[in-house]
Each structure stands twice: as structure tokens, then as C-alpha cells.
Copies of this chain bind each other. A is one copy, B any other.
Amino acid sequence: MSVTFAKGFRAAGAAAGIKPSGALDLSVVIAEEPAPAAAVFTRNGAAAAPVRLSRRHMEISQGTIRGVTLNSGCANAATGEVGDRAAYDMAAAVAGALGCEVTEVLVCSTGPIGPQLPMDKILPAMQLLVARAEPSPSAGRQAAAGLMTTDTFIKEAAVSGLGGFRVGGMAKGAAMIRPSMATMLAVVTTDAVSSVQRLKGVLSEAVEDTFNTINIDGCESTNDTVILMASGRSGIEPSPEELTKGVRTVCAQLARDIVADAEDCTRVVTIRVSGAADDGSARRMGMAIADSDLVRCSFYGGDPNWGRLVAALGACGEPLDASRIDITYQGTAVARGGIHTGVDLSAVEPLLAGDFAVDVAVGDGPGTARILTSDLTPGYVTFNAEPS
């Protein structure tokens, strides 16, 4: 169940020929009526053409849009004016098929940075794609499949039982994942009744502790986009808290799936930081730990090498009293007051055979954070050494 789970949305996916493999690579998500929407985008200074176009369209349309078109197989980033024109033409093709303004259509792209989109393949496919869009689960699934790059499974999530309204969503991973404002591509739909203004707050809050707390490889993408649309078709107008809860639940599942499907990873590691000066400081500390190649190598080895966490904490620029650091792997305290507890580290290794959690307490401040990361594996390196 995906973006078509919420009432009032149609979707489709197609193989337009962008990917040489012939796999699905072009998707649309369409609201049956103009829908209030919110979006967050990468803060990367080399933001891709579709990001820049979608930002502008959200401004001009004042957040009321008809749909999104997304492609995989090419990021349309570092493509100059030709790329700007391609992003516009993708939006215009959807708008033409729907009979709406071009500014009511957003565009997302993902894939290698640098190549130009094959517009000769995309434009002819677009009319048919929009015509084929359906509200069925299988159509939602096809749309989600059309986003995949190196993902090994389709990422969908849905939630109901929230007082009569539904939320669904889809996303793609699987590398160049280090959230800034948002991360990767995701489209989340709801049939709740909501204003644009409320959606902005809801999306911002939901993204903050879901997509913005994952870190696969420390590499922030040029194309990160999360879009939330509300059809209002349930007739229910939930409170901001209820709506945030629904959207956050979907975002959290998609975010975790992205980490679980990190290129060649063997485990998901949850880093919980507590005792920092504030939540922002705790998050920067957690991200610094997840940024460290040496830490993520030790995760791959299932090695409770807590000294590498201490070094990463010390290097991240946050205020730190190294003599206050407590570190616990999967429930076993290995360091307290900044030094080894004396526990036999080789006895901790068996606890780290699968996914595990590391608790890092840095003092008695109120700041906490929870970061999801994956291990760094030889397979990740080999995979990303291949010309794409």
C-alpha cells in the first residue's frame, strides 16, 4: 500500500527507456483535484534542475498542486540550461495531459549526476503514463518501482486507523544519503483535510525526526525531495498532532527501509545520544559518529570499538567533556566516565551479530537524538567504484 492508499490519488509507473536495463523509470502521482501540498528539498548548493523547478512551482502555485512526476536513471543534476529545460518540459507534459497549469506540477529525478535526460524517450511516454494512472494498489506499487535506482526492494508505507483518514507514501534510497533538509525522494499522500499552511508544519515536523535522522554514507544528494499532498477526500480534518502522527509514521517506516536497503549494508545501527546541551547538539554528535568511516567499519565487523566513537565525538566541534562519556552497545556498558568499564569486549561481539543499538551519554544535559545508520562494507566500496 502506497501513495494510492489515501483516497483521491492516482499513480502509474512505466519503463520509458531512461534505464538501459529496461526497468521501470518514470512515475506520476496525481491528485484528482487540486490539492494542498508541502515540500522540503535538499540544501545542497548544487541542487538539481528538478529541485530548483519544483521549489519555484511551489512558490507560484502557493502550494496547491495537481501532481508530481518522478524519474530514476538520471538525476538531471549538473546539466545546466539543457537540464532546466528538460525539467520544465517534464512538468509541462504532465500539465498538458491533465489540463492544468505547468506550475501545478512538481518534478523529481534520481540517478547518476551529470548525464542529460533522454527527453526523446520521456516526452512520448508521459501522455500515456498520465492516462494509465489509477488509484489501485498495484498502480501505486508501479509508481514506487519507477523510482528505484540501486534499491533492492520497493519502499512503500501506509497507515490508517487515525480517526478516519489515511496516509500513504513511497520512497527510494539507497546511497548518497545524508539528510540535510530532507533526503532522497519521497511522496506522501493523505486524504485528510488540511490547509497548505498546516501541511508545511506537519511535513517539517515529521521529516525532522525521520528522514533527517538517517545517514548512510555522509554524502548529501543534489536531488533530495519529500512532497506531501492532501486530497481532503476522507472529509476528516484531523488536528495537527493527529496528522503529524500519521505522516510521521509513514515517513519513519520509509526512512528505516532506506537505511535497511543501504548499498550492500549488512545491518542497521541505531545511535542514541543523550545528555547533550540540546537536541541539535545531540543530533550533530550522532551524525558525526555515523559520518565516521572507522566507526562504520567497526559496525561491519561487529566490533564494540568504542574508542572510535570517542574520537568522532571529540572531532565534531560540539562542546564535550570527554570524562563524561558513557557508551553502551546493545545493553552492555563498555565505557563509563570516558574510560573502559573493564567488560570483556570480545564477549560483547556476539551481541552485535545483527542490527544493534549504541547508547552514547555525554553528560547531564536535556539534549537527545536518535540516528539510524548502516555499516560500511567492502561491497559498498566495490559497488561504488564501478563507473555508473
Contacts and interface: CB of A to CB of B under 8 A. Distances in A.
B82 A339 contact: yes
Interface stretch (A53-61, A112-120, A158-166, A202-210): A112-120
Nearest to A301: B385
A222 interface: yes
Interface in A330-388: 335, 337-340, 345-346, 349, 376-388
A335 B114 contact: yes
A333 to B, nearest CB: 13
Contacts of A180: 315
Contacts of A82: 339
Nearest to A80: B339
Contacts of A306: 78, 114
A337 B79 CA distance: 9
A232 B33 CA distance: 84
A32 interface: no
Contact of A386 (B79, B301, B313, B382): B301
Nearest to A384: B297
Contacts of A386: 301, 303
A291 B316 CA distance: 14
Residues of A in contact with B, size category? 35 or more
Interface string A291-323: 111100110110101111011111111111011
If over half of A's interface residues share one DSSP class (helix, strand or loop), that class is named, otherwise mixed; here it is loop
A219 interface: yes
A217 interface: yes
A349 B387 contact: yes
A45 interface: yes
A144 B45 CA distance: 44
A385 B303 contact: yes
B310 A46 contact: yes
A339 B116 CA distance: 9
Contacts of A382: 378
A221 interface: yes
A197 interface: no
Contacts of A346: 387
Contacts of A238: none
Contacts of A310: 46, 77-78, 113-114, 222
Interface string A215-251: 0011111100000000000000000000000000000
B305 A387 contact: yes
B305 A340 contact: no
Given A80-B323, A219-B315, 20 more contacts: A45-B313, A46-B310, A46-B338, A47-B322, A78-B307, A78-B322, A78-B325, A78-B338, A80-B338, A176-B294, A176-B308, A217-B294, A219-B292, A219-B294, A293-B376, A298-B385, A300-B381, A301-B387, A378-B381, A381-B381
29 contacts: A44-B314, A45-B313, A45-B317, A46-B310, A46-B311, A46-B322, A75-B307, A78-B325, A78-B339, A80-B339, A82-B339, A114-B305, A114-B335, A116-B340, A175-B294, A180-B315, A218-B293, A219-B308, A219-B311, A222-B314, A297-B381, A297-B383, A298-B384, A301-B385, A301-B387, A303-B388, A305-B388, A377-B381, A378-B382
